[in-house]
Amino acid sequence: MMTRRKFQEWSVILLGGIAQAAVAVPALIYLLVPGGKKTGGGWTDAGSIATLPTGRPTEVAIQQERQDAWKSSVETTTVWALKKSDSEIVVYSPQCTHLGCGYHWEEGQQHFLCPCHESVFSKDGAVVSGVAPRPLDRFETRIEGDRLWLGPLAQQEGKG
């Protein structure tokens, strides 16, 4: 037969265990289950190559899946694509290699210009002038049918 005192002791122990489990289980899952911050490592559909003009850099909107721990979301961003031919397309990261500002294509000057600290890049992404330490970073690309796919971003070396 359980006394009132024993019942209270066991109740306190049981409730304490439940409270500890409520804190410990999520913490253990966070520590043990792989996840962490990462962006979608897969390939991203960048649209039809038929819409890209040949020889002129074009800003292209893409949607990338982003995985942040257990939360998955889709974000829209842009990249710069240069179609040299139907089988050769170069795609640049939208961020300047100096401090990551957005740059734009100046058709009149035939250069990419970064207004933050006045870095200038050629159509091929090489540094023409300014403080940028290296050429524009490029995405790995592949063409399937008339679709352009973007893979991982590769950092370029040197000035150009």
Positions touching ligand FES (CB under 6 A) are 96, 98-99, 101, 114, 116-117, 119, 130-132
Nearer to ligand FES, 46 or 93 (CB): 93
Nearer to ligand FES, 80 or 83 (CB): 80
- Kindly state the smallest distance separating residue 119's Cβ from ligand FES, in Å: 4
- Kindly state the smallest distance separating residue 82's Cβ from ligand FES, in Å: 19
Neighbours of 40 (CB within 10 A): 15
Nearer to ligand FES, 120 or 143 (CB): 120
- Kindly state the smallest distance separating residue 126's Cβ from ligand FES, in Å: 14
- Kindly state the smallest distance separating residue 92's Cβ from ligand FES, in Å: 13
Nearer to ligand FES, 98 or 138 (CB): 98
Nearer to ligand FES, 130 or 151 (CB): 130
Distance CA 77, CA 115 (A): 19
- Kindly state the smallest distance separating residue 88's Cβ from ligand FES, in Å: 26
